[in-house]
Every structure is written in C-alpha cells, then in structure tokens.
Structure 1
Amino acid sequence: MNGQGNNVPLGITLMILTTMVFGGQDALSRHLAEEYNVLMVVMIRYWFFAAFVIALAARSRGGLRGAVRTAQPWLQILRGVLLVGEICVAILAFVLLGLVESTAVFISYPLLIAALSGPLLGEHVGWRRWVAIGVGFAGVMIILQPGRGVFDPAALVPLLAAFMFAVYGLLTRYVARKDRAATSFFYTGVSGAVVITLIGLWFWEPMTAADWGWMLLLCITGVTGHWLLIRCYEVAEASAVQPFAYFQLMFSSLMGIWIFGDVLRMGVVVGAALIVAAGLFTLWRERVKG
C-alpha cells in the first residue's frame, strides 16, 4: 500500500465515493446508449480512459517502458478486450432491463469469481463457499424469474456481463503473479481502446451539443471513479473496503428509479439481498483463509 499504512475509515469513505461516481456513470451510460450506438459511446469513453492510463503509467516506477514490459502480452491484451466487451454488454443490459435489475444481477460477479477460481486458477473452494455460491445463484434466479410465464432472454444479458467481468478478474489475478499492477492497468486501458476504436468508428453517429456535454461528464466520471478506487486500495487493505463496493447497487438503483422511472420489484430486493449476503460471506471466508 505504498507505505501509507492501513487507514480503514478513509478507505471506506473512498470506496463509497467510488460507488457513487460509478452509479452516476451507469446512469450517464444508459442515457447515451438509448440515443446512440453503444459501441460509439464506449469508444469515446475509452479514449479518455486510455489517456488517463498512459498518464499514470508515465508517472509510475520505470515509466511507460516499464509499464509496457510484460512476459505475457497476449493474456494482458485478452484482459483488456474482455473488459471493454463486458462494458458494452453491461450498458446494453442497462438499456434493455434498466439499472435496478441489471445491477442486481451483475453484483453476482464475486460469486462467479469464487466458483471459477478452482477450475481456472487451481484454487481450493471449500464447501462453505460453495454453499454461498449456491445461495447467491438462487438470488439471481429470484431476480430473473425464469419459470414465470415467457422468459425474456434479455434477462441473461447482465448475467453474461457478470461472467465476463469475473473471467477478467481471474485473469487479472493470474497475470499479477508475474506483472506489476501498473502494467496490468496500462494494458487494460490501451488494448481496450485500440480494439473498441477499430470497431466503434464504423458506428459513428453525430451527437447533439447537449449530449457531448453528457459524454464529457461520462468520461470525467470514468477517470474519477478509477482514480478514487486506486486511492482507496492505496490507503486501506482490499479485504477491509471491498464489502462496501456493494453500495453501487444502491446508488445505481436510486439513479434508475429517480431518473428513468425503473420499478423496484420485491423479487429484485429479495434476490439482491441473497446475492449481497452470499458475497459478503465469501469475502469474509477469503479474509479468514488469508
């Protein structure tokens, strides 16, 4: 933690601020994606993100040359491509299902990471964590309601986003065995920006002056959110602040209800409660084992 100690209260404050910013980012992404092509929206957002990543890398130990150096370039590029693809899928989910239900399903990703850490990383997953994973999966099923009438395939979109983000998280953990965090962060932004630009330019649409303002705000929230998250992990241990990441569910849901008129179903409340409880238990088990 860069020798700054373990200031848990400050870390928690920064994490809650991060979730507030990301909640606003979700609302801005949904607004713009309802008016313009998702790929174009993500492409412009990634231009700012890549500039932020390059600036950070230039200031890190070893500079840009040190950040670029990696023994596993293809895995690093795959991570970047996977994340930008996940962001596109997640924004599509916001448009199709709304912020409330999409975010409620997406927060199952820590449980997917726990479930996949065994087959993909060879980590041991005990019976307690498998029970938690099962409880969280039951929560997802309560939200999606697959047995009620005609099942809407769009309900699987946020689950796909959660799966993609879980694989991204596991790949990040894997490459960390050989690469520095600065290297992983550099490839996350730059490789994602290159790929989404090659695709997104084909879907360019003229934007109104007002929406360029919203786009600028989206880019600023993206950079601000990542900066806050980095600072959060610099001042406090991840295990102490990670449970507060679930505040994003509350902030995104409030944005969805207040701005877009999303409806909060009882099934979503119950399902999300199960997912959060299972996720917190999984985090607690990881801390105990650590």
Structure 2
Amino acid sequence: MKNQRFPSFSGKTIGAFGGLYLVLIYCVLATGADAITRTFSHGFEAPQLFCFSGAIVAALSALSVLRTNSTRKFRTLRPRTMALRSLFFILCSLFYFAAFRALPFAEVFVFIAFVPIFAALLSYPILGEPVRWQSWIALIAGAGGMVLLYPEGLAAFTWAHLCAFLGALTGATAMVLARHISKDDKNALLQVLYPNIAICLVMACILPFVYKPMSLLDVLMVISYASLLFLARWVLVLALSHMKAYVVTLLINFQFVIMVLVGALIFGESPTVNLIAGALVIIFAGAYLVLDEWLADRFAGRAKAMSKFTHLDERFVTRRKPQKGQIA
C-alpha cells in the first residue's frame, strides 16, 4: 500500500493566517499586562516595575533558550540590530509607562492607532517591503476606526500625550527591527531575552533612587506582569516572523475590541454606536490587510511557478534535435 501524502500549505499561507491567530493571542496577553501597568504606575516608578519584570522575563527566556536544540543558543546573527532594538524597546516601555500613568486608556490607544502608519513608513527603508496602495487605504481606515472608538477627542496636548506619541513611534521601530532580525535569526526567544536584559540593567542603575517597599500583592503584580509580558512578546516576535510588520501592528488594534468586550461583560459598560462602528472598521481593515497579503503571496507563487515551467519548456524545445525528414 502506497504511503498517502497529506495536503500541505505553503509557508507564506500559513504565515498570513497563523500570524493572525498569534496576534489575537498577543492582544489578550497585552491587555492584561497593560492593566497591571496602569495599576502599578500609581504607586511606584517605572524602574521598579521594569527592573524586576525584566529580570523575570530574561530568566524565563534564558531557560527556554537552553531547552532548544540550537547549536548557537545565545548567539544572535545580528548583534547590532539587536542592540538597536533593545534601545527602542527601553524607550518605548518608559514612554508608555508615563502615558498610562497620566492618561486614560482611550487617549493612549488613540496614539497606538498610528503605530501601523509608522511601521509602514519604516518598513520600506529598513526591510525593503513596499506598501501597496490598497494597504495604505486599509491603514488609514484602521486609524480612522480608532478615532471613531473615542469621538470625544483628546484633551489639551500635554507631556503625557507626547509620551504616548513617542511610545507609538519607538514601539513601531522596535517591531520593524524585530522582523528585520527574524529574516536571518529564527530563534525568536533571543529577541525577548536581550531587550529584557538591557532594560533590567538600565533600570537597576536608577532603582536605588526611586525604590519603595512592596507588599505581597505588589510582588504578585510584578510576577503576573512579567509572565504576561514574556508570553506576549514571544508571541509578537513569532507573528512578526510570519507577517509584514505593518499588518501585525494594525491587527494589534484588535486589542480595543477585546477591551470593549471585557468592559461590557465584566464591568457592565454598554458599548456606544461609535464604539461598535470603530471596532467594525478595525476588524474589516485588519482582515483586508491579511487577505491582501495572502492574495499577493499566492499570485507571486503562481507567477514564479509559471516562470519556472516556461523556462524548462524553452530549454526542452531548444535542446530537442529535429529528426531526419522533419523541418527544424
């Protein structure tokens, strides 16, 4: 009996839809981590959270790396890019911490809506990935959907708003650099390990000046935050290795939808028409980007296959010698 071969999907097809599931998981994990950040920021300074959480995340990452079968367990193929990503990771964490401390979730996440735009602008110079005009339409629609979620608008522009803007810019840069590293370095855990080692060391230098005693509940909050952060960032790096950076960053806006659902189911907050409209715009914009990438990859694969077939056919015709009595 002949062995049956199971149908297989192309790597890029798996990347588009597998990346979608990874981003949705990331949104759930990130929502929990952001809630803890907001709660913790009212009583403590940023170094106290990021020093301890960075150490925990780095330890979890190191243990996970040791369990891999890679011969170069802790060696990255792009050390300079990894160092640059770590720098932007630290800046992004500090900016968002300051923003979450002073602003409501609504105002902070309105700025996060612009992360896909930043990622799209940075994807071409860093990754050489051109953004098609269809994708620009989806990106603008997604950002517009975020504004629809909170139609009351922003308050007067303050330092906290500037922090939210810079957090979005540095966060988008770190995400694009993560995809750049993933092209050569397939060990996603290293992109979680080294940035957290960096933020732990930097915050440890500042911690003695701002440290406050913590209760058992505060310690549990830090551990929970670190655990959620470890899983979220690992999942995010995996998603960036499967999908284009601007697609992933736009799909991250699904986190708003999760927040609306949590507010309605747990806190009894009834979503307004604007919230529903904004959520629908984000969903359709994100789905369009995934479909656009999948169709582009599929057509590119077909064109490549047809080109190869045509090339082989031409070689066969040129090498075939005419038989006696036939016209060459």
The TM-score, its normalising length taken from structure 1, stands at 0.75
Uncovered stretches (5+) of structure 2, i.e. residues with no partner: 1-8, 298-328
Q: Which has the larger displacement, 168-177 or 211-220?
A: 211-220
Q: What displacement does 1:107 show?
A: 4.2
1:117 to 112, 123, 148: 123
The one-letter amino acid paired with 1:206 is P
Q: 1:77 aligns with which of 63, 73, 83?
A: 83
Structure 1 residues 185-211: Cα deviation after superposition (integer angstroms, max 9, x where no partner): 432332333333334443222223332
Determine if the alignment matches structure 1 residue 31 to structure 2 residue 39: yes
Q: Tell me whether 96-105 or 147-156 shows the greater mean CA deviation.
A: 147-156
- Give the whole-Å Cα distance in 1 for the aligned partners of 2:99 and 2:265: 18
Unaligned runs of 5+ in 1: none
Checking the alignment, whether the CA contact within 8 Å between 1:100 and 1:262 is kept in structure 2 is no
How far, CA to CA, are the matches of 1:78 and 1:67 in structure 2?
Answer: 20
Q: Is the 8 A contact 2:23 2:251 kept in 1?
A: yes
Secondary structure, in 3 states, of the residue corresponding to 1:67? Answer: coil
- CA shift, 1:126, in A, is 2.1
Q: Which has the higher contact order (CA 8 A, sep 6+)?
A: 1
The answer (yes or no) to whether the contact 1:142–1:267 under 8 Å persists in 2 is yes
1:149 to partner: Cα distance: 7.6
Q: Secondary structure at the match of 1:206?
A: coil
In the other structure, the counterpart of 1:211 is: 218
2:112 aligned residue: 106
Q: What's the offset of the Cα at 1:52?
A: 1.1
Q: Following the alignment from structure 1 to structure 2, what is the Cα–Cα distance between the partners of residues 13 and 180?
A: 19
The separation in 1 between residues aligned to 2:91 and 2:221, in whole angstroms, is 22
Q: Which string of whole-angstrom CA distances, capped at 9 and with x for unpartnered residues, describes residues 144-181 of structure 1?
A: 88998844453343332222121111111222233233
Task: Give the CA RMSD over aligned residues.
Answer: 4.2
Q: Is the 8 A contact 2:89 2:171 kept in 1?
A: yes
Deviation at 1:99, TM superposition (A): 2.2
In structure 1, how many angstroms separate the alpha carbons of the residues matched to 2:37 and 2:280? Answer: 25
Which amino acid in 1 is paired with 2:167?
A
Question: Matched residue of 1:216: which SS?
Answer: helix
Bigger mean CA deviation after superposition, 268-277 or 29-38: 268-277
Question: Judging changes above 3 Å, is the alpha-carbon distance between structure 1 residues 250 and 271 closer, same or farther for their aligned structure 2 residues?
Answer: closer
1:1-290 matched pairs, under 5 angstroms: 16-62=24-70, 66-139=72-145, 150-152=156-158, 154-182=160-188, 183-226=190-233, 229=235, 245-253=252-260, 274-290=281-297
Checking the alignment, whether the CA contact within 8 Å between 2:47 and 2:207 is kept in structure 1 is yes
Alpha carbons of 1:267 and 1:230: their partners in 2 closer, same or farther (altered >3 Å)? closer
Q: Percent identity?
A: 23
CA contact (8 A) 1:53 1:189 kept: no
Q: Is the 8 A contact 2:257 2:279 kept in 1?
A: no
Shift of 1:82: 1.3
How many residue pairs get aligned? The number is 282
Q: What amino acid maps onto 2:226 in structure 1?
A: C
TM-score relative to the length of structure 2 = 0.67
Q: Contact conserved, 1:19 with 1:245, CA < 8 A, in 2? A: yes
Quote the Cα distance in structure 2 between the aligned partners of 1:104 and 1:14. Answer: 23
> Are the structure 2 counterparts of residues 157 and 230 from structure 1 closer, same or farther at C-alpha, using a change threshold of 3 Å?
closer
Greater percentage in helix:
1
Post-superposition offset of 1:259: 9.2
Q: Does the CA-based 8 Å contact 1:26-1:91 persist in structure 2?
A: no
Q: 1:169 to 1:223 in 2, by over 3 A?
A: closer
